[in-house]
Structure 1
């Protein structure tokens, strides 16, 4: 499926319906991306007011999720789409769920930011939080861009990047465990940072899921649970488009 095929339907209303779903996914993605940025900033800078703003925006993200689900259900019921159109709606529905869960993870980080602002900062972990936060947010932005442009190559790059985030997460967790062993006074606060790191790692997973849906949308191939080494063997970039 290409961007040109996406707009080639006899019914102009059908075209408009599909474009509306896609634009709402991207709008929700933009809001969720800001939630992640703000949550990380709130934690690193001890900004409880910014953290509270992230938490207050969760209802808006949840409302967007419900709206997109309703749109997809209505289109499937009225249009009975087949082939690539149905894949678009399935991919949108699954990406919608992942975006809502990213919002949930940002909300968790914001709550940890408030706790840390009340309990006091710790000497370790903030550099790792900022670094991994930037990394997963870049993954999310690239996954959404791939969704907007039907870009399989970029989607594959996001899938591959998730492994790097996992390595960075494990390294940061080892650092914090060592730090807690050396200075038990900071255990409670270090645990809050560790939970935040875990939330960021999960955001990377959800960004990967969105990228996988782009590949399914364009190529009609489900690459979930496939090892990274097998991606090159499936001709995902250079072969013809999916049906």
Structure 2
């Protein structure tokens, strides 16, 4: 985003950089937690838990940036929406970090019993989908791409479907081999954590559309979201036309 005030631009850019840094850290935490689970790596799982404090510290740092920015600059219109979106988005990212910690804890529990990769296919498949969804959400925020954010929102339905399918598959494993019930329950908690990460990624995507269009699309149907994305595209085109006519 570009503004008439260079100092405001710098302040906002600093907050955005911290936001994206926090997002990448949380994304890496999810990836490492899943690696710890799949490889029964208790050391890596412990490192994921220990690194959660870094995400929490970034949340505090970003909150301080936002508070000072609002106090000094008193942003309005789209600038204010952007600042509010960063403030809300850090909450989702912090919770993604929390879900990564939950996965790491489950990885430790499973590794204590054995290193058998029973039922892992369903978990790994959902993990891959969710991590792509999170990566796309962060990228759409970085470049303020409302259309890409809309695709992230649509993909959340696929994640929800896969989550339910994975739960059913795990229940089938339990019925076939009741001795695995403890491990399956732990994996169900992992699936739940992954599904929630997908929800937080969707929330970040909704914030992108809010910034771009001015429409709060939370709890909205896809027709409403699609119209907001179209409005965002029209606003960007009008801005480009005005710039070219100057």
Verify same fold: TM over 0.5.
yes
Q: Find the aligned partners of 2:235 and 2:2 in 1 and give their Cα distance.
A: 19
- 19, 30, 40: which is aligned to 2:24? 30
> Once superposed, what is the RMSD of the aligned Cα atoms?
1.6
Aligned residue pairs, count? 237
User: Shift of residue 238 of structure 1?
Assistant: 3.9
User: Shift of residue 142 of structure 1?
Assistant: 0.6
Does the 8 Å contact 1:88/1:217 carry over to 2? yes
Unaligned runs of 5+ in 2: 240-246
Q: Find the aligned partners of 1:210 and 1:124 in 2 and give their Cα distance.
A: 33
Q: Which residue of 1 aligns with 2:106?
A: 112
Higher helix share: 2
- 2, 7, 17: which is aligned to 1:7? 2
User: Shift of residue 180 of structure 1?
Assistant: 1.4
Against the structure 1 CA distance between its residues 204 and 29, is the aligned structure 2 distance closer, same or farther, given a 3 Å change threshold? same
Unaligned runs of 5+ in 1: 1-5
Q: Which residue of 2 aligns with 1:3?
A: none
User: Shift of residue 231 of structure 1?
Assistant: 2.9
Q: Find the aligned partners of 1:91 and 1:121 in 2 and give their Cα distance.
A: 42
The two structures have a TM-score, normalised by structure 1, of 0.93
Cα deviation digits, residues 76-97 of structure 1 (max 9, x gap): 1221111111111100011111
Equivalent residue of 2:33, what SS? helix
Cα deviation digits, residues 197-232 of structure 1 (max 9, x gap): 000000000000000000001111111111224433
Q: Find the aligned partners of 1:166 and 1:15 in 2 and give their Cα distance.
A: 38
- 2:136 is equivalent to residue 142 of structure 1: yes
Cα deviation digits, residues 124-149 of structure 1 (max 9, x gap): 42111111111111111111111111
The two structures have a TM-score, normalised by structure 2, of 0.92
User: Shift of residue 185 of structure 1?
Assistant: 1.1
Q: Which residue of 2 aligns with 1:154?
A: 148
Does the 8 Å contact 2:150/2:226 carry over to 1? no
Q: Which residue of 1 aligns with 2:81?
A: 87
Does the 8 Å contact 2:126/2:194 carry over to 1? yes
Against the structure 1 CA distance between its residues 37 and 236, is the aligned structure 2 distance closer, same or farther, given a 3 Å change threshold? farther
- 2:205 is equivalent to residue 211 of structure 1: yes
Q: Find the aligned partners of 2:45 and 2:18 in 1 and give their Cα distance.
A: 25
- 2:184 is equivalent to residue 194 of structure 1: no
User: Shift of residue 49 of structure 1?
Assistant: 1.0
**Deviating 4+ runs (over 4 angstroms):** none
Cα deviation digits, residues 63-83 of structure 1 (max 9, x gap): 001110111111112211111
